[in-house]
Copies of this chain bind each other. A is one copy, B any other.
Amino acid sequence: MEANAVVVEEQSPCRRRWAAVRETTVKIRRKVAEFPEKIKKVAQDDPRRVVHSFKFGLAITLVSLFYYFDPLYVGFGNSAMWAILTVVVVFEFSVGATLVKGLNRGLATFLAGALGFGVHHLATLPGDIVRPILLGIFVFILATTVSFIRFFPRMKARYDYGLLIFILTFCLISVSGYRDEEVLQMAHKRVSTILIGALAALLVCIFICPVWAGDDLHNLAANNLENLATFLQGFGDEYFTKSSEMESNKASLQGYKSILNSKQVEESWVNSARWEPRHGRFKFRHPWKQYLMVASLTRQCAYRVEALNGCLDSDVQASPETCGKFQETCTEISSESGKAMKELASAIKTMSAPSSHRAHIAKAKDATEKLNSLLKTRLCEDIDVVEILAVATVASLLHDVLACTEKISESVHELATLAHFKNEKDGKQELDKQKQVQKTSNSIDLNHHVITVE
């Protein structure tokens, strides 16, 4: 880079400029060439994005029909723009988020409209000179108060958008009332077009390939556990036999990293999911808040896993001999915790109460005991302290991870109880039934076969 700069320095100003232009052109051309790849990636990461874009286009086109058909336009006139505006700002990716925004907007518009109308009426009473002053004072007080309320953490999380719309509508209704005598009619038109816009957005969002925030949240909880499980199941081999194919494997373990910063996303999804009607496997009053509990414990575990991951990169590594001694037990703790985690993940996915994870946790605990006694006997042998430190850290972190796994398992159990996951027994009964049906059908087939032979 610097050598390049020197070369440019030596050239004439004209040439230098030309070189800069050429460089920019190359850059732009590269970006343009990369663009289709990027589009493909964004679409492949989540194909529902493409569907969402088409849904959005459809909703906008629908509400813009207001302008094209005379009978519709005559009723609302210029207020038709509020329908378009509403669709643009209310239409979100998931049904829940759209509902939250739509309800926020609807309620805020209605309340602010009513208040604005009242204030307009109040300001008209004293006379024409005082009126603008009174209106100004009201607007100032309300805008100041509401914008302060937006700083309340709970308000910010749930009603931020509604508060914004409240200020907006209040100002528009009370202030435009100063010019337009038919405030009530204007407010009425505006509220109805906003309702129509919100309704159009909602209908398109719900009835054409709906994306449920609840589904996403549910899958995220399972995926996060699965990512942790993948790391834990791979960690043993990676740490103790890394020399061979280190790079290729390590990248596949890093899926858990996304958990570290997923708090905001989870909170907003829970907020959205709570407003969604029952759908698919989720009944009314599904315990969405419990997902936050599971997510928080998962994140706690991810912090430990991050520390374990640090051990993979650490310059202080145990020698192959030391490694060999502890490999089996450490690998077992790690992989059994991973298996328990995977079990919990699949329990969430299939919405059945988890069962066999307890056995894995017990196995991991046994392995911990073994590791402890192993450490005790090996401790006094002539091993470098630094090496012992490295192994002891891994052991202790694995111990922590195991403790986290137990906590996660408890919270998943609670989730299973609250959400009435089907019991393992029920599941087994169902499985038995299915098997029986299969047997029957087999025997029928056989009979049939026999008959055919006959």
The interface of chain A, by Cβ under 8 A from chain B, is: 38-39, 42-43, 46, 49-50, 52-54, 56-58, 60-61, 64-65, 67-68, 73, 78, 81, 84-85, 88-89, 132, 135-136, 139-141, 143-145, 147-148, 151-152, 164, 167-168, 171-172, 175-176, 178-179, 260-261, 263-264, 303-304, 306-307, 310, 314, 316, 372-373, 375-376, 379-380, 385-386, 388-390, 392-393, 395-397, 399-400
Q: Identify which of A38, A389, A390 gathers the most chain B CB atoms within 10 Å of its CB.
A: A389
Given contacts A67-B176, A264-B261, contact A372 B396 (CB under 8 A): no
Given contacts A171-B64, A176-B67, A400-B314, contact A53 B84 (CB under 8 A): no
Beta-carbon contact of B148 and A61 below 8 Å = no
Bound CA span A125–B449, Å: 74
Chain B residues near A46 (CB-CB < 8 A): 151
Q: Identify which of A61, A263, A400 gathers the most chain B CB atoms within 10 Å of its CB.
A: A61
A266 to chain B: closest CB distance in Å?
11
Chain B residues near A49 (CB-CB < 8 A): 148, 151
Chain B residues near A385 (CB-CB < 8 A): 372-373, 375-376, 379
Chain B residues near A179 (CB-CB < 8 A): 67, 73
Beta-carbon contact of A164 and B303 below 8 Å = no
Chain B residues near A54 (CB-CB < 8 A): 144
Chain B residues near A65 (CB-CB < 8 A): 136
Beta-carbon contact of B57 and A140 below 8 Å = yes
Beta-carbon contact of A139 and B60 below 8 Å = yes
Bound CA span A164–B136, Å: 30
Of the candidates B60, B145, B172, B392, the one whose C-beta lies within 8 Å of that of A167 is: B60
Residue of B nearest to A314 (CB): B400
12 other A-B residue contacts (CB within 8 Å) besides A85-B172, A303-B303: A50-B148, A53-B148, A61-B140, A81-B176, A261-B264, A264-B264, A303-B306, A388-B392, A389-B395, A389-B399, A390-B396, A396-B396
Beta-carbon contact of B388 and A84 below 8 Å = no
Beta-carbon contact of A68 and B388 below 8 Å = no
Chain B residues near A147 (CB-CB < 8 A): 52-53, 56-57
Bound CA span A397–B56, Å: 50
Of the candidates B42, B78, B88, B260, the one whose C-beta lies within 8 Å of that of A152 is: B42
A373 to chain B: closest CB distance in Å?
7
Bound CA span A52–B148, Å: 8
Bound CA span A84–B170, Å: 11
Bound CA span A58–B139, Å: 9
Chain B residues near A136 (CB-CB < 8 A): 61, 64-65, 68
Chain B residues near A139 (CB-CB < 8 A): 57, 60-61, 64
A153 to chain B: closest CB distance in Å?
8
Chain B residues near A372 (CB-CB < 8 A): 385-386, 389
Bound CA span A400–B61, Å: 57
Q: Identify which of A65, A171, A380 gathers the most chain B CB atoms within 10 Å of its CB.
A: A171
Beta-carbon contact of A171 and B393 below 8 Å = no
Chain B residues near A152 (CB-CB < 8 A): 38, 42
Chain B residues near A52 (CB-CB < 8 A): 147
Beta-carbon contact of A68 and B132 below 8 Å = yes
Of the candidates B89, B306, B310, the one whose C-beta lies within 8 Å of that of A164 is: B89
Beta-carbon contact of B168 and A88 below 8 Å = yes
Beta-carbon contact of B56 and A143 below 8 Å = yes
Chain B residues near A379 (CB-CB < 8 A): 379-380, 385, 388
Chain B residues near A85 (CB-CB < 8 A): 168, 172
Beta-carbon contact of B144 and A53 below 8 Å = yes
Bound CA span A391–B286, Å: 44
Chain B residues near A140 (CB-CB < 8 A): 57-58, 60-61
Chain B residues near A171 (CB-CB < 8 A): 60, 64, 84, 88
Bound CA span A395–B171, Å: 61
Given contacts A58-B140, A145-B53, A152-B42, contact A68 B264 (CB under 8 A): no
Query: Can you report 7 A-B residue pairs in the complex whose CB atoms are below 8 A from each other?
Result: A43-B148, A61-B136, A67-B178, A67-B179, A81-B176, A303-B307, A314-B400
Beta-carbon contact of B397 and A393 below 8 Å = yes
Of the candidates B60, B263, B373, the one whose C-beta lies within 8 Å of that of A261 is: B263
Bound CA span A56–B146, Å: 10
Residue of B nearest to A69 (CB): B132
